[in-house]
Amino acid sequence: MLKVEQVKTAKQLKEFLKLHYTLSSKHGKWSPMIYEEAKKVILKGESILFKKNEHYLFLAKRDGKTVGRICFGADKLMNEYKNVNHAFFTLFDCEDDIEAAELLINTAEKWAEENGYDYLKGPISPTNGDDNRGVLTEGFDRMNAILNNYNPDYYLKFFEEFDSYLEYYAFEYDLYSKLDGKKLDVIKKLLNKYNPDFKDYDDTEKVLDLTYSIMFNKDDMIIKTPNFKDKKKLYNDVEVLFKESMPKNWEEDLFPPDHEEVKEMIDNFIAFTSPEMVQFACINDKLIGFAATIPELAEDIKKVNGRIFPFGWIRMIKKMKKPEKVRAVLLFISSEYSNLAISGAFIINLRKKLRKIGVREIEFSTISSKNRQMMNITDFLGLNKIKTYTIYGKPVNNKELDLKEIYGEAYKKFIKDKKRKERIKK
C-alpha cells in the first residue's frame, strides 16, 4: 500500500534525513549532502529559507518502507521581492517509483492550490542559496561537485508534466588547457588591433595575459586577495555588494541576505577555503565583485557517506590545503559594473593564482543559462559544459499565467530569448 504522511515526530524527521543517504549509497556518482549540515537544515530548520517561511515535510511510504520525501512551502519574502505568487518544493528524493513521486508532487501542488498560490517550482535550494538546487538533467556520468545535487536519470520521468522554469549549467575548466584554433583566431584579430607586434600565439599564458590587459583590466580597478582577518570590513563590504548585485529583474530566485546571514555565510565559507582561492575586484577600495572557490571534496564526502565528523574530516584536511580541483561557488558583480566583463578577469586571474598552489581544474557551477555574459565568456575561454540542472515549474491547477506572473520583473529576459530563438530558426 502506498501513502504519504506529514512529518511530525522525531522518528519521521530521522527517516526524512536518512532516505537521502540510503539512495545516494546505491549510486556510484552520487555524493550526498554533508550530514552535519543536512541535520541542521532538516532536524533544526537552520536555514534562511526555513527560518523565515512556513514549510512542510512529507514522506512517501510503500508497505511501511520510506521510498520518497519532499518539503514544500512558500517563500513570502521572495514572492514580495520579485512580485510573484509562487510555492516551492525542495529536498525531493525518491526511489524509482513513479507512483510515489507523483503522490509527493501532487501533495505539494494540492497545498499550493489550497493556499492560493499560482505556481509551483523546484527543487530549489533548501538554504535560499545556490546549493543543492535543481534536478540533474544532463551529466549523469559525472559525480556531483560539493554542495551540488545528483540524481539518477529516472528522476526525469517524474517531471514530464512540468515546464523548465530555469536551467543552470556546470562548466569544467582545465587550468592547463590550450586555446583551440577557432578561439585563437578570434583572439589574434583582437590582439593584432591593439598590439600588432605580439607573436607568441603558441604560449596560452602570454596570450591570456595580454587579452586580460586589453579586455578586462581597467585603470582604476584592481583584483586582489581578500583579508580574512579583518572580518568586520569583510562582512560589511560583502553585505553591500550583495545588495548591489541582486536586482529585482534578476532571473535567479535570490535576494540580499541581512547582516547576520552574511556573517554566518562568510564564517562557514572561510572554514572551507583560503584567501588564495578568492578574488575581490575593487575600485577605490570599494568592493564591486568577488569570485570564490572551495576545494572539491565530493569524492571524500562520498567515501564517508556524508559523515565528515569526527573521522572523515581528517581525510579531507590534506586535500583542503592542497586541492587539485576546486569548485567556483560564488561570483557576484555589482549591477553598476556588470558591463566591465569582470567575470572574464576573474577566470583568467583564478587560472594563474590557483595553478601556483597546485590546482589543476575548476568546476564553475551552477551558472544561470540566462547569464549571457557568462555564457559568452565560458565559450570564449573554452570552458566545457558538463552538466545541466533544471528547476521545474508548473501553473497550479492549470492556470494560464503570463511570463511576468512566472518570472516577475525578469520576464523581459525570457521574451528576448524567445525572439532570439525565432530569429535563429529563420
Please give the full DSSP string across 363-377, using - where no structure is assigned: EEEEEETT-HHHHHH
Task: Reply yes or no on whether the pLDDT at 239 is more than 60.
Answer: yes
Q: Report pLDDT for 244.
A: 93
- First and final CA of the chain: distance in angstroms? 53
Phi, psi torsion values for 230, nearest 5 degrees:
-90, 75
Q: What is the pTM of this model?
A: 0.92
Any idea which residue has 560539493 for its cell? 146
Helix or strand holding residue 194 (H, E): helix 181-194
Task: Reply yes or no on whether the pLDDT at 316 is more than 90.
Answer: no
Dihedral, 278, 280, 281, 287 alpha carbons, nearest 10: 150
Question: Cell numbers at residue 23, please?
Answer: 539512495
What are the tens digits of pLDDT across the range 248-287? 788 888 888 889 889 988 988 888 888 999 999 999 889 9
Q: Report pLDDT for 425.
A: 45
Find the radius of gyration of the CA atoms of the chain: 22
Q: Which of 44, 79, 42, 72 is nearest to 58 (CA)?
A: 72
Any idea which residue has 577555503 for its cell? 273
Are the beta carbons of 327 and 294 closer than 8 angstroms?
A: yes
Are the beta carbons of 217 and 345 closer than 8 angstroms?
A: yes
2-168+391-425 belongs to CATH 3.40.630.30:
yes
Q: How would you class 243 by CB atoms within 10 Å of its CB: exposed for 0-12, middle for 13-18, buried for 19 or more?
A: middle
Average pLDDT of span 358-381:
91
Question: Cell numbers at residue 43, please?
Answer: 532536524
Task: Reply yes or no on whether the pLDDT at 171 is more than 50.
Answer: yes
Helix or strand holding residue 296 (H, E): none
Task: Reply yes or no on whether the pLDDT at 390 is more than 90.
Answer: yes
Q: Which residues pair with 384 in a beta bridge?
A: 172
State how far the Cα of 214 lies from the Cα of 218, in Å rounded to an integer: 9
DSSP string covering 100-124: HHHHHHHHHHHHHHHTT-SEEEEPP
Q: Which superfamily is assigned to 173-388 in CATH?
A: Gcn5-related N-acetyltransferase (GNAT) (3.40.630.30)
Range among 102-106, 218-222, 301-305, 333-337 with highest mean pLDDT value: 102-106
What are the tens digits of pLDDT across the range 104-163? 999 999 999 999 999 999 999 998 788 999 999 999 999 999 999 999 999 999 999 999
Q: Report pLDDT for 341.
A: 80
| Cα angle 258-281-266, degrees, rounded to a multiple of 5 | 35
Q: Which of 342, 232, 214 is nearest to 279 (CA)?
A: 342
Q: Which of 316, 389, 359, 354 is nearest to 133 (CA)?
A: 389
Q: Report pLDDT for 166.
A: 96
| Three-state secondary-structure class, residue 295 | strand
More confident residue, 31 or 206: 31
Q: Report pLDDT for 315.
A: 64
Q: Which of 348, 335, 378 is nearest to 213 (CA)?
A: 348
Q: Which residues pair with 279 in a beta bridge?
A: 291
| Three-state secondary-structure class, residue 307 | coil
Among 343-347, 370-374, 396-400, 420-424, the least confident range: 420-424
More confident residue, 194 or 298: 298
Q: Which of 127, 104, 125 is nearest to 50 (CA)?
A: 127
Helix or strand holding residue 385 (H, E): strand 384-395
Alpha carbon 301 to chain centroid distance? Answer: 18
Q: Do domains 2-168+391-425 and 173-388 have the same CATH topology?
A: yes
Question: Cell numbers at residue 92, please?
Answer: 525531493
* Other residues' Cβ atoms within 10 Å of the Cβ of residue 100: 23
Q: Report pLDDT for 420.
A: 45
State how far the Cα of 394 lies from the Cα of 165, in Å rounded to an integer: 8
Domain locations in the chain?
Answer: 2-168+391-425, 173-388
State how far the Cα of 12 lies from the Cα of 379, in Å rounded to an integer: 47
